[in-house]
Structure 1
Amino acid sequence: MTTQGEIVIEPMMRELSEYIAGALARPLPPEVVEKAEHHILDTLAAIAVGTRLKPGKVGLEVMRSEGGRPDCTVGFTDARAPVVHASFAVGMIAGAGETDDSHYLARMHPGCAIVPPILATAELLDRSGEDFLRAVVLGYDIGCRLTMALDEALLDNAFHSPHSIGGLFGGTAGCAALRSFDAQHVRYALSYAVQQTAGVTCWMRDPEHCEKAFVFGGNPARNAANAALLVACGFTGGSDPFHGQHNFFDCMSPNPDRAEMVRGLGRDYEIMRAMIKKWTVGSPIQPALDSSQALLKEYRFAPDDIVAIDAILPDKETKIISNRHMPEICLQHLVALMLVDGDVTLESSHDYERMKDPRVLAVREKITLVPNAEMTRTPPPRQARIEIRLKDGRTIAHHTPATRGTPDNPMAREEVETKAIRLMTPIVGEAVTAKVIDAMRNLPSIRVRDLTAIMSGSDALVKAA
C-alpha cells in the first residue's frame, strides 16, 4: 500500500489511476485502432442524426440558454460553447435516437456518453487524433469495466441505470488523460465523478426519448467533462473513492468485484466487445429484424398471408422492448414494420405516425413475444428466432444466432462507412460526409481540430446560434 497523508490508496486504485495517467503514451494494437475508428465514426453518424430529433434539439436549446465562451464545436452545427456545455449538448444529440453503439456485458451505450466529452476536451486542448483515439479506447475500458464490477442484480433491483454510470466514469478517465493528469489528479477526477453519479431507470416511462438521451448521453457527458475541469482548475478531493469508509462501490453494491476494474488492462480492450448497430433501433431488437427480413427474402410472402408470428428472444431483454411507446425500441411494432415495408430505415423506425398505420397494426396484432430463458443462458447474447405461420399451412422460421455488428459477427470497415454515409448524407451532405470518413481513416495522423473544422464548416446544416 501507499499513503497520501493518512489516507490509504489501495493497490487496485493505484494501478487504475496510474494506468489512466499513462494511457496516451501507450501504443494500441492495430485491430484496436481500427475498431476505435469504427466506433468514433458510428458515434459521429449518431451525432449528425440527432441534430434533427427532439432530444438533440432541446439539448441545443439548453446549451444556447447558458451562453459562455465559444471554446468547442457542438456537433454538426454552427454553434460553439464551453467544454462542459458542448459535452452536454453533443451527448444529448448522440443519444437522441437509436443509432449509437452498445456494450452488452456492460449494459450501456458507451459512444454517446464517452465520445462527446473526450472530443470537446481534445479540441479545447488542441490534441492529436491519436491522443483522441487512445482516450476513447481508455474511456470504453474504464466505463465498461465499472458497470461490470457492480452487482448486476443490484442494478436491476435498485433501478440504477448503468448507461449513465459507466459513461460518466469512461468519459472522466478519457478527459483526465487528455488533460495530462498524474495519478493523484486522476483519483481526484474519479472522486468528482463519484459525486456526480446519477441515473434511475424511470427514464423508461418517457415516451419521447428526451429523458433517455439525458441519462444515456447528455448527463454523463456533461459530468465527465466537468469532473476533469474541476480538477484542472485546482479542485482536490478524496484520493481513493473506490475503497475505505463510505466509498462508491459499497454505496452502489453489496457484492462488487473491484478487481474487474483492472482486469486485463492494456491487453483486453472493451471496445472490441462493443456492438455497432446494423439497424437504427434498440440493440435487443436487431436479431429479430435480421430474421424477419431473411424470411421475407426467402419466402416472399405478403402481410395478408400471415396468420401468427412468434418472436422468441432472450428473456432478460424482453421487458425493455415489449410494447413500448417509442417506436424505435418497440419490438412488436418494428417486426410488423419490417414485414409490411420489407425494410426498416432511420425515418420509419423513428416515425410515431407509423405506429398508427392500419397495415402495421394489423400485423402487430398477430405478434407474440416469447421470452426464452435458454437463449439468455446460451451465448451469444444478441440472438432471436422468428416463427411465422402462413395461411397456406406452412410454418417458416429463421434463427439469427449473432446479429451483424456484434463481437461474434463484426462489421467490416466498408459496412460501418456505408451506414455512416446512409445516415449522414441526408443531413450534412455528401461533401462533409466524405471528409469525415476520410478523417476517420487517417485519425492518428491528424489534429482533432482538423476533424471539428469539418464538422462545423460552412456546410454545417443545423443553425444553432
Structure 2
Amino acid sequence: MSEKEIETSEVMKTLAAYIADAANKKLPEDAAEHGKHHLIDTVASVISGTRLPPGEVVINYIRTLGGTEEALLLGTDYVTTAINASLGNGMIAHADETDDSHKESRSHIGCGAVPAALAMAEREGSSGEAFLNAVVLGYDIGARVNFSVGVHSMYDAGHSTHTFAPTFGSAAAAMALANLNADQVRWGISYTAQQVSGVNCWQRDRDHIEKGFDFGGQGARDGLTAATMVQAGFTGVDDVFVGPRNFYSTYSTEPRPEQMIDGLGERFEVIQTNIKKWTVGSPIQAPLDCIEELQKQHGLSPDNIKHIKLRLSDMESPVVNDRHMADICIQHMVAIMVLDGTATFASAHDEERMTDPAVVEFRKKIELVGEPDIPRRNAIVEVTLANDEVVSHKQIAVRGTPDNPMTRQEVDDKAFELMAPILGQENTRTLIDKVWALETVENVRDLRPLMIA
C-alpha cells in the first residue's frame, strides 16, 4: 500500500491543527496560572541542578559542542544552539528529584517540555504569551501520547513512559513556537515517533546522569530536532498513527489513538501535574507529609520514637528502598526529617550525611513495607513512641498534587530558595516576578540575562 492510498486520520488532522494554532490561543485563567507554576518550578530545578554532580558533567559536555548562539544553558554564561541547550537544560532539570511529575502518565513532562519550549522561544524571539502557551501544550500532548499507547502495558513491556511523554510534549511545544502549519506538524509528529525510545533500565542508574537524559534531555533534544528539521524544509509521513507498521502497532498492545485529542483544549494536563513540596523522589513525598503532620500533633523527636513503620504501594516501595542517593532513599530522608525537624534541598543533597553515625543509627528504627492495596503516591506512617503509644497518619493527597495544590506563594518560595544562591536574590526576584506576568514579556530573550550565573 502506497503512502498516497493511506488517508490521514481524523485524529491526526485534529491534533495537527490544534498544535499549529496553539501559540495563538487564549488560555483559560487556571491553565495559564498552572502553566506559570510549572514553568518557574522547572527553571528552578535546572538552576539548582547546575551545581549538582550530574549538572556539572552535563555543562562540561555541552560546552564542547559549540554551535550557533541561540539559547542559554541556564545557570551559566554559555549560549549555544537551541538543540544543545534543550539537551543540557533538560538533563539538568532532572539532575535530582526537584522537578514536577505527572502521575497518570507515569512521566516527568516538565523536565523535557519546558527546556524545549524555552530554547525554541529564545531561538525564535517568541513572546512570553506564546512561550506559556507552548509549555501548556507540551503537558497536554506529552500526557496524552502515553494515554493513547496504554500507560501500564507500555511500562510493563519495558518501554519508558518517562521518555515517550516528554519527547512528544517537547516536539509539540517546539512545533507551535516554530509556527509550523498543520501539514508540517504532521511531518514533525512522524519525525518525533521515529526518534522516541527509552528502556526502563534507567532504574539501575546510580548517579542520576543517564536518568536525567532519559527523563528530560533526550525528549527535549529530540522534540526540538523534529520541529527544526521540518521548519528547515524536511517533509515526511503524513500520518504515522495509521497504515502498515505504524506507531501504535509498534508500541502498543491496547492502542487508543483517540486519546490524543480527548478533551484537548478543555482538559489541561498541566493542572493535573504535581509540583514537589519536598525535593526528593515522588514516593517519599507522602511519608514526609505524614511525618510533618505527626510532628505537629505529637512533637516527634529522635528521643521519643521507638519505631517508624512506613507503608507504601508495593509498586513504589522498591524504587526508594535503601537507595544509595540521599534524595531517593526513603529511610534516609525520613531520618533527616525527624532529626532536623524538616527536609530542605540542602539536606536532601548532603551525601555525607548518608554515613553520619546519628543518621545511620536512627535509620535502624525505620521499617518500610510495600502493600498491594495502597495506591501509588499514598502513604500510611505508624510511629511507636517511647511509651509504646502508636500514632499514625494517612496521606492521600500529597501537598503539591491536584487534590492538594501548592499556592502561588509556596511555588514562589520554593523557586526562590532554589535559585537565589546561584543567580543572586535580585535577579531571582525579578525573574520570578516576570514569569508571574509572562503575558507582558514581548521577547523571551529578555529573560536570558536574569538566568546567567
TM-score (norm 1): 0.94
Distance 1:302 1:141 in 2: 43
Distance 2:300 2:89 in 1: 43
Distance 1:159 1:240 in 2: 25
3-state SS of paired residue (1:375): coil
Partner residue in 1 for 2:451: 455
Distance 1:210 1:408 in 2: 32
3-state SS of paired residue (1:307): strand
3-state SS of paired residue (1:407): coil
Distance 1:218 1:301 in 2: 41
Partner residue in 2 for 1:433: 428
Q: 2:397 aligns with which of 391, 402, 407?
A: 402
Partner residue in 1 for 2:173: 174
Alignment of 1:94 onto 2:126: no
Distance 1:128 1:233 in 2: 21
Deviates more, 1:59-68 or 1:168-177: 59-68
Superposed CA offset, 1:248-305 (max 9, x none): 1111111122111110001000001001110000112111001112222322233233
Partner residue in 1 for 2:40: 41
Distance 2:112 2:391 in 1: 41
Distance 1:83 1:192 in 2: 17
Distance 1:30 1:223 in 2: 30
Matched to 1:95, the amino acid is H
Identity, % of aligned pairs?
44
Distance 1:382 1:208 in 2: 24
Partner residue in 2 for 1:390: 385
CA contact (8 A) 1:312 1:371 kept: yes
Distance 1:374 1:220 in 2: 33
Matched to 2:383, the amino acid is I
| TM alignment of 1:271-420, pairs within 5 A | 271-376=270-375, 381-420=376-415
| TM alignment of 1:60-139, pairs within 5 A | 60-139=59-138
3-state SS of paired residue (1:397): strand
Instruction: Please report the RMSD computed on the Cα atoms of aligned residues, expressed in angstroms.
Output: 1.5
Distance 2:363 2:130 in 1: 48
Q: State how many pairs are aligned.
A: 451
Matched to 1:255, the amino acid is E
Superposed CA offset, 1:13-63 (max 9, x none): 111111111112221111111111111010111011011012211111221
3-state SS of paired residue (2:189): helix
CA contact (8 A) 1:43 1:112 kept: yes
Deviation at 1:5?
Answer: 3.0
3-state SS of paired residue (1:268): coil
CA contact (8 A) 2:151 2:161 kept: no
Matched to 1:285, the amino acid is I
Distance 2:155 2:364 in 1: 30
Distance 2:155 2:275 in 1: 24
Superposed CA offset, 1:215-240 (max 9, x none): 11111111111111111122111111
Matched to 1:297, the amino acid is K
Partner residue in 2 for 1:255: 254
Any gaps of 5 or more consecutive residues in structure 2?
A: none
3-state SS of paired residue (1:207): coil
Superposed CA offset, 1:137-171 (max 9, x none): 11100001111222233323222211111000000
Deviation at 1:319?
Answer: 2.4
TM-score (norm 2): 0.97
Distance 2:58 2:5 in 1: 43
Distance 2:54 2:349 in 1: 12
CA contact (8 A) 1:49 1:97 kept: no
Q: Structure 1 4/180 Cα, relative in aligned 2: closer, same or farther at 3 Å?
A: farther
Distance 1:138 1:289 in 2: 32
Superposed CA offset, 1:299-358 (max 9, x none): 223323322211112232222222222221111221122112211111111222211122
Any gaps of 5 or more consecutive residues in structure 1?
A: 461-465
Superposed CA offset, 1:67-119 (max 9, x none): 11111111121000011111111111111121111110011111111011111
Partner residue in 1 for 2:164: 165
Deviation at 1:4?
Answer: 7.3
Distance 1:393 1:366 in 2: 14
CA contact (8 A) 1:288 1:386 kept: yes
Superposed CA offset, 1:181-237 (max 9, x none): 111110111111111112112111121110111111111111111111111122111
Distance 1:43 1:157 in 2: 28
Distance 2:9 2:184 in 1: 16
Q: Structure 1 135/402 Cα, relative in aligned 2: closer, same or farther at 3 Å?
A: same
CA contact (8 A) 2:34 2:270 kept: yes
Distance 2:349 2:250 in 1: 37
Alignment of 1:216 onto 2:215: yes
